[in-house]
């Protein structure tokens, strides 16, 4: 698996994974805007030489805090460490720019994602009620200090 920066030619594969991964997927135009927006980092995992996109993430840096907006991996590539590779690449990219911490929201019922974040050292900071709309689900705000990630997660792998 190769982790690299996204290019516009990957948008259709990203949209496919997005539509298959989220209850309320972002429309193609919003994804296309984000992947070329200045100040946003979007990386992809590419499988082999056929340029098949296995996963992607979108994030930005606000002061010294990384905000992860999106991460998704296609069903056939899950549980192979792709999400860990994408997030590690993101953390390394922003760490060089002075990032100290990471923050994100995750649906409280999204056990795979919550386990992924906990494995990296994230902790639940608080719950945001009705984050996905009234009656449509709550979110945990999860946070990670990057020094904890570098000391604990990386030293254990």
Ligand X SMILES: CC(C)(COP(=O)(O)OP(=O)(O)OC[C@H]1O[C@@H](n2cnc3c(N)ncnc32)[C@H](O)[C@@H]1OP(=O)(O)O)[C@@H](O)C(=O)NCCC(=O)NCCS
Footprint of ligand X on 117-156 (CB under 6 A): 119
Query: Between residue 27 and residue 46, which ones bind ligand X under the rule CB under 6 A?
Result: none
Report the site for ligand X in 56-95 (rule: CB under 6 A). Answer: 71-73, 78-84
- Tell me the three state secondary structure of residue 157: coil
Q: Which residues share a beta bridge with 44?
A: 4, 56
Nearer to ligand X, 67 or 95 (CB): 67
Question: Can you tell me the distance from the alpha carbon of 104 to that of 144, in angstroms, rounded to the nearest whole number?
Answer: 9
Stretch touching ligand X by CB under 6 A, among 5-13, 88-96, 103-111, 126-134: 103-111
* Residue environment code for 134-145, b if the CB has 16+ CB neighbours within 10 A, otherwise e: eeebebbebbbe
Query: What's the closest the beta carbon of residue 21 comes to ligand X, in angstroms?
Result: 4
Structure tokens at 54: 């296995």
Token look-up 């995992």 returns 45
Which residues contact ligand X (rule: CB under 6 A)?
21, 71-73, 78-84, 106, 110-113, 115-116, 119
């Amino acid at each position: 698996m190769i982790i690299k920066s996204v290019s516009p030619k990957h948008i259709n594969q990203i949209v496919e994974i997005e539509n298959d991964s989220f209850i309320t997927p972002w429309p193609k135009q919003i994804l296309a805007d984000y992947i070329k927006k200045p100040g946003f980092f979007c990386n992809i995992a590419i499988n082999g030489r056929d340029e098949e996109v296995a996963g992607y993430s979108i994030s930005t840096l606000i002061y010294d805090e990384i905000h992860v907006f999106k991460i998704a991996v296609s069903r056939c590539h899950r549980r192979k460490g792709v999400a860990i590779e994408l997030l590690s690449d993101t953390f390394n990219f922003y760490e060089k720019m002075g990032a100290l911490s990471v923050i994100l929201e995750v649906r409280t019922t999204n056990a795979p994602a919550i386990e992924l974040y906990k494995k990296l050292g994230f902790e639940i900071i608080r719950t945001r009620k009705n984050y996905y709309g009234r009656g449509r689900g709550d979110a945990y705000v999860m946070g990670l200090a990057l020094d904890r990630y570098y000391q604990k997660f990386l030293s254990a792998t």
